[in-house]
Amino acid sequence: MELGLAGRRALVTGAGKGIGRSTVQALCAAGVRVVAVSRTQADLDSLVGECPGVEPVCVDLADWEATERALSSMGPVDLLVNNAAVAQLEPFLGVTKEACDMSFNVNLRAVIQVSQIVARGMIARGVPGTIVNVSSQASQRALANHSHPACPAELCLSVQIRVNAVNPTVVMTPMGKANWSNPDKAKVMLDRIPLGKFAEVEDVVDAILFLLSNRSGMITGSTLPVDGGFLAT
C-alpha cells in the first residue's frame, strides 16, 4: 500500500535500537528524510552506515537544556515519532526516586518537550503534521513490575496536527527478549494474548507508518493496540 510519505521529513527519537531503529529504516525506504535521535553515538554511526542520508543527533532526552539546544534549530519536521523510553521493571514498593525521575524525564517530559519543539515549527509554517507516540499496553492495563508511567497516549493539539499512539504488547527487540526470556514468566503473559505470541518489531513499525501516513487522515487522539488482543480479554 502506497503511504505517500516520500519527500517528507521525520524526526524519530530512540532511533538507535529496536522499534526506533527499524522505524528509521522503514521511513528511509519510503523516501522520507529522517532526523534520528539517540543518546548513543555508536548506534547512530552504524545507523548512518545502513541508511545514508539520515541526520544523526546525539543527545540525552532526559536533559531538558541539552535537548533544547540539540533540536531547536533542526529545521522543518513533518512527522514525529516519540519512541525513546526507559524500561525499569520494578515492583511498586521497590521503585526508587532515581528510577522514578528517570522514567518521568524520558517517558513523559521528553515527549512533551520534543512535541512542543516540533509542533511550534509546524504551526509557524502553517502546515499540518503528524505525531505518533510509542506507548505500551501497560499504560492501559496494570502489569506486574510495570509501575513506572508509560509514554502518554496522546497530546491534544488544537491545530491540524494529528496525534496518536501505538500501544504494543511485549515486542521482540533485544530488550524485550532479555526481559521475557524466562518461559514461565512469558507464559503468564502469552496466556492472556488471544493470538498466543508477542509482537515482532515490524508489527509495531507497520502501525507507526500507517498512523504517520495520509491513510489515517481521519484518525487523531486515538491509541492503537498492537497486542494480539490482550486488551480485549
25-64 per-position pLDDT tens digit:
999 999 999 999 999 999 999 999 999 999 999 999 999 9
Mutual orientation of helices 110-125 and 64-71 as an angle, nearest 10°? 30
Mean pLDDT of 175-187: 93
> In which residue are the cell numbers 488471544 written?
194
The greatest distance separating any two alpha carbons of the chain, rounded to the nearest whole angstrom, comes to 53
pLDDT tens string 77-136: 999 999 998 876 667 788 888 888 888 999 999 999 999 999 999 999 999 999 999 987
Query: What is the reported pLDDT for 133?
Result: 95
Q: pTM for the full model?
A: 0.88
Q: What is the dihedral of CA 177, 201, 111, 229, to 10 degrees?
A: -90
Residue 139, pLDDT > 80, answer: no
CATH homologous superfamily of 9-171+200-223: NAD(P)-binding Rossmann-like Domain (3.40.50.720)
With cell 512542543, the residue in question is: 116
pLDDT in tens, 211-226: 999 999 999 989 999 9
**H-assigned helices in the chain:** 18-29, 41-50, 64-71, 97-103, 110-125, 174-179, 183-190, 201-212
Per residue in 142-165, pLDDT (tens digit) is 455 544 444 444 444 556 899 999
Residue 1 has pLDDT above 80, yes or no: no
Q: What is the mean pLDDT of the chain?
A: 89
Q: Tell me the C-alpha distance between 93 and 210, whole Å.
A: 39
